[in-house]
Amino acid sequence: MACAACCVWAGSQNETVIDGSMVKEGLAPAQPVLPENAFVVQLHKGMIKGGIVQPGMVLDLADEDICIVKEVDGGLAGAWNSSCDASLQIRPFDRIIRVNGISGASRELAQILLEKHDQFSIAFMRPEERMVDLAKSTDLGILVKYKRGSLGFWIDNITDGEVHKWNTENPDAAVAPHDRVVAVNGDGGSGAELLSNMRNKEILQFKVMHYPAA
């Protein structure tokens, strides 16, 4: 039997077709596979004295599509960081991709974290740090955005220009929309400060936090 958009299950148990999707009876659909550089953190009220369930993260929601950790500010996240291996600690620039199995826009994920839950299962993506060397002799070909208090500025769109040329010549170090530029020529700062630092510079080096597709 052929069907559009069906899920293929191994084994010989009973199967039911519902709205074009094949579901194995008695089992919930499998959770989406986590992308590379992703890890899951389990936060629960028993982790800290008093059982107050506060995630303890300051979030950067400036980009409506990408929810980024700005800093860990105690709470459950701080307790997690103090008790786990360094490779699994929650860090600034980590992207939250799912909370309690739910994905969504940055403010939707933040809203779940504000709700009262006994525990949080949070899937994070660790960004890849990339250095991008550009000559400013021609148009960079990027539309960038930032908001007051955001971590650097993010790439909103890429057109013809130096960044597109870089991506073509350096596919393993390419950048994409929603990536964060966090330093220019070695200097960090706010989005406004970074853009100001770019003026009158013939050579630019961007330090970029790259987020693969989730």
pLDDT confidence tier of residue 1, bands split at 50, 70 and 90: very low
Q: How far is CA 95 from CA 17, 53, 78, 98, 170, in A?
A: 35, 21, 17, 9, 24
pLDDT tens track for 52-74: 567 889 999 999 999 999 999 88
Count of beta carbons in the 10 Å neighbourhood of residue 206 = 25
The residues spanned by each domain of the chain are 1-30, 38-125, 128-210
Q: For domain 128-210, is the CATH number 1.10.3720.10? A: no
Backbone angles phi, psi at 81, to 5 degrees: -60, -30
pTM: 0.80
Which CATH code for domain 38-125?
2.30.42.10
Do domains 38-125 and 128-210 share one topology? The answer is yes
